[in-house]
Chain A
Amino acid sequence: MSQKITKQSKLSLESIRSQFPVLERQVHGKDLVYFDNAATTQKPKSVIDALVGYYSGYNANIHRGIHSLAEEATLAYENTRHSLAQFLNASSSDEIILTKGTTESINLVAKTYGEQTVQEGDEILISCLEHHSNIVPWQMLCEKTGAKLKVIDINDQGELDLDSFEKQLSTKTKIVSVTFASNALGTVNPIKDLASKVHAVGAVIVVDGAQSTSHFNLDMQDLDIDFYAFSGHKMYGPTGVGGLYGKRALLEAMPPFMGGGEMIKEVTFEKTTYADLPHKYEAGTPNIADVIALDAAILFIQKIGYENIQLHEEELLNHATTQLMNIDGLTMYGTAKEKVAVASFGIESIHHQDLAILLDTYGIAVRTGHHCTQPLMNRLGILGTTRASFAVYNTIEEIDTFIAGLNKAVTMLR
Chain B
Amino acid sequence: MLFKVSRFSLLFMLLFALVLVACSSDEDKDDQDKTTDTPKLADTLVIYGWADGIPQDLLDAFTTEFGVKVDYQTFISYEEAVENIRAGQVYDVLWLGNYYVASLIQEGVLAEYNYANVPNAKNIAANFRDLNYDPGNRYSIPYTWGPVGLLYRSDLIDPPIAQWSDLWTADIEYVAIWEEMRTVLGLGLKSLGYSANSENPEELQAAYEHLLTLKDKWVYGENYDPYTSAYALADNRFQVAVAWAYDSIVAADLGDNMQYVVPTEGGAMLWGEDIVIPANNHSQYTAEVFINYLLRPEVSAAYGEFLANASTNDAAREFVDESFLSNPAVYPGNEILIGSEIVLPLSPEGEALYIELWQQFLDATKPSTQLIG
Please say whether chains A and B are actual partners in one complex: no
Q: Which residues of A contact B (CB under 8 A)?
A: none
B-side interface residues toward A, CB under 8 Å? Answer: none
